[in-house]
Structure 1
Amino acid sequence: MRVSASLLAAVFGILLSSAAQAAEPTLTVYTYDSFISEWGPGPAIQKQFEAQCHCKLTWVGLEDGAALLSRLKMEGKKTKADVVLGLDTNLTSEAAATGFFAPAKVDVSKLKLPVAWNDKTFVPYDYGYFAFVYDSQKLPNPPKSLAELTAPGDQPKILLMDPRTSTPGLGLLLWMKEVYGDKATEAWAKVAPKVLTISKGWSEAYGLFVKGEAPMVLSYTTSPAYHQINEKTDRYKALDFPEGNYLQVEVAARMASSKHADLAEQFLAFLTSPEVQKLIPTTNYMFPVVDIGNDLPAEFRNIPQPQKTLLMPSDEVAKHRHAWIREWLETVSR
């Protein structure tokens, strides 16, 4: 059978394209759902990284950061993850103890964080402060302190997250421990009647909040900036408590079992690049870990800094986390 030269060229081109695609490695990144939502930073990061890495970036989304650690413990060294993005400082010691993670080669000496960073494995990519966010149209007189929030009485309903599956939920658990110590269970007992629901992750709870299901939700001091930038409203506000607000530093790390170690390192370094850090404020609505100058939106420059920064050492969290969660469960389920 005679075959035209143009047909041969077309077939040859398809084969070359298929071979090139087959040769491209795939980097699998486990993260939380909101990071890779259409409004999150994930889509833009994927586009930019794939343009320079000659690879395919695949996301696996879970409900929240705490769920990431649980998934990794279940999968063990057989995990398909090359990189995990979305753990935070409350989980890094426990995560490191698994032996699943490899030290990073990324230079973090020039990162700007509210706390000193000495961890050799986990690479920070953003940070923020937990806060209670309220709807000022429905709640003109919100609680002015954590003490007022935890005082007995008929107060507005609150939306919270489960500390077993959610990093904000765990953050609140530790926030209460930092402020109340051994009396945290007493404070939780006073808060429990005010809780409308406890969701698995932040996205679900915040979605209920903006739908008007409750006038208060556990979120971040930066959350109102989202509404100011995208909806041109200052209706939603964050509370700055005199007892302090709990700090969250979100991190990424390379899996020791990854077959694409160099590519994973390239991705970790990319997370701290100006290109990605400029995305963080208006997509993940957290503070960047590098100075992005005038690229930091005015709405972020106007966010009040907490009167006191609260942060528990990661090794202390690892030592007590499960016991404190059991204590919390016993209290809120009464």
Structure 2
Amino acid sequence: MTRTLVRAAPRRTPRRARVLTTTAAVLVGVTALAGCSALESDGAEPSASGAAASGSVTLVTHDSFGLSDGLLEQFEEESGLTVEIVQPGDAGVLANQLVLTKDAPLGDLVFGIDNTFASRVIDEGVVVPAELTAPAVEDAAAYAVDGDEGALTAVDFGDVCVNVDHEWFAAQGLAEPTTLEDLAKPEYKDLLVVPNPVTSSPGLAFLLATVGAFGEDAWPTYWQQLKDNGLKVADGWSDAYYVDFTAGGGDGPRPLVLSYASSPPFTVPEGGDVPTTGALLDTCFRQVEYAGVLAGAANPEGAAQLLDFLLSDEVQADIPGSMYMYPVSASVVLPEEWTQWAPLADAPFEVPLADVAAHREAWLTTWSDTVIG
């Protein structure tokens, strides 16, 4: 049986490109791959510890997953497993596909379910607890989802924030905005682009930031103000950042874009020492990414081994440079440019995850009716 392996390359660009794949194509392609993986994993011989020492383990993840060259190969060499990667799309698409295929799982381990969708995969029984041994498991416990019994384990986190092009504002002689309220002021008309929260996990995180800032009753009014002020909505983060943002490399027209607090260090020009962009830390929502063993996985032991690997010192130290998020491990020394140019927000906006679970779909419908019409 022929298998198509997709191995994501590390990206030296701001987090994160999100490409949505047609649902039907995903279901056909990845279900066939998962089925093939299941057939071939059945023949794996367990080691003395009970973990599979040969065969394959399939990681289902979003389309921005990537580690530095050699890390996954190191895991394969040490574990005796072959890692196969399936990438249906953004975190929202990922969660939807896992729910739709929970009776015939797409793989063994999922990585990239964030806190905006965590409750859904838990409630649907998509993931199951696993016994883990990595030291960072204790650090990950600080990000545990309420009501979860260990089915999801935090791997990394970061702040979704509006980013500003310093050079554009300096050239225009216009003061930069600093708050959510500023973004709706007339002087910033036609300057902001955000990804669609229906199709983008950063977009949903920003929607939740406005819910946390203005409350469940008033946030639609704020979005109406943004719309009236010339807000542009892009399909995903990559379109917003690389096409519409003035500092994204595509000569876009908009100097305000939704991205991450960790994006600015990657806009330091060659030969320079100062980023051309910055994050507005009073506009942020903290995003946490989780991994979990899929219920009904063909190789749950291999999935647990791979999850332990994601929490290893080597991978945790690699996360800032390869996936542009903060590692959950407290023992990792962050790159110097991160401590200077990628600070976390002191007080990101928050929404209880129970409220997200209860109202997510209704909020998305209200947002669509308000902004898209």
TM-score bracket for the superposition, by shorter chain length:
0.7 to 0.9
Distance 2:188 2:155 in 1: 40
Deviation at 1:229, TM superposition (A): 8.8
Q: Say which of 222, 231, 236 aligns to 1:195.
A: 231
Deviation at 1:54, TM superposition (A): 1.0
Conserved? CA contact 1:29–1:82, under 8 Å: yes
State the number of aligned residues: 306
Instruction: Identify unmatched segments of 5+ residues in structure 2.
Output: 1-39, 45-53
> The residue matched to 2:346 in structure 1 has which SS?
coil
Distance 2:295 2:269 in 1: 40
Conserved? CA contact 2:105–2:295, under 8 Å: no
Superposition pairs of residues 46-195 of structure 1, within 5 angstroms:
46-106=72-132, 110-111=138-139, 119=148, 120-140=150-170, 141-152=175-186, 154-181=188-215, 182-192=217-227, 193-195=229-231
1:225-252: CA deviation from partner (whole Å, max 9, x where unpaired): 22239784510111121xx621111111
Tell me whether 149-158 or 108-117 shows the greater mean CA deviation.
Answer: 108-117
1:315: which partner in 2?
A: 354
Superposition pairs of residues 236-275 of structure 1, within 5 angstroms:
236-241=277-282, 245-275=284-314
> The residue matched to 1:111 in structure 2 has which SS?
helix
Conserved? CA contact 2:140–2:154, under 8 Å: no
Work out whether 1:296 is the aligned partner of 2:334: yes
Amino acid at match of 2:122: A
Conserved? CA contact 2:129–2:152, under 8 Å: yes
Amino acid at match of 1:132: V
RMSD, aligned α-carbons: 2.4
1:152-203: CA deviation from partner (whole Å, max 9, x where unpaired): 565242221122222111101111101111110110011124323321x323
Distance 1:176 1:263 in 2: 40
Amino acid at match of 1:88: D
Superposition pairs of residues 203-214 of structure 1, within 5 angstroms:
203-208=238-243, 209=245, 210=248, 211-213=250-252, 214=254
Distance 2:157 2:331 in 1: 14
Amino acid at match of 2:343: P
Deviation at 1:102, TM superposition (A): 0.7
Conserved? CA contact 2:63–2:89, under 8 Å: yes
Q: Larger radius of gyration, structure 1 or 2?
A: 1
CA spacing shift, 1:161–1:83, aligned 2, 3 Å: same
CA spacing shift, 1:126–1:196, aligned 2, 3 Å: same
Instruction: Identify unmatched segments of 5+ residues in structure 1.
Output: 1-18
CA spacing shift, 1:35–1:234, aligned 2, 3 Å: same
2:260: which partner in 1?
A: 220
TM-score normalized by the length of structure 1 = 0.84
Distance 2:255 2:190 in 1: 7
Amino acid at match of 1:164: V
Conserved? CA contact 1:93–1:314, under 8 Å: yes
> The residue matched to 2:238 in structure 1 has which SS?
helix
CA spacing shift, 1:44–1:70, aligned 2, 3 Å: farther
Distance 2:124 2:271 in 1: 43
1:32: which partner in 2?
A: 62
Distance 1:46 1:230 in 2: 30
Distance 1:230 1:315 in 2: 45
Conserved? CA contact 1:281–1:287, under 8 Å: yes
CA spacing shift, 1:115–1:152, aligned 2, 3 Å: farther
1:10: which partner in 2?
A: none
Amino acid at match of 1:238: A
Distance 1:85 1:123 in 2: 9
1:16: which partner in 2?
A: none
Distance 1:86 1:42 in 2: 17
CA spacing shift, 1:311–1:48, aligned 2, 3 Å: farther
Distance 2:303 2:199 in 1: 25
Amino acid at match of 2:275: D
CA spacing shift, 1:292–1:84, aligned 2, 3 Å: same
TM-score normalized by the length of structure 2 = 0.75
Amino acid at match of 1:55: L
CA spacing shift, 1:145–1:154, aligned 2, 3 Å: closer
Distance 1:81 1:271 in 2: 16
Conserved? CA contact 1:134–1:237, under 8 Å: yes
> The residue matched to 1:305 in structure 2 has which SS?
coil
2:372: which partner in 1?
A: 333
Distance 2:239 2:107 in 1: 25
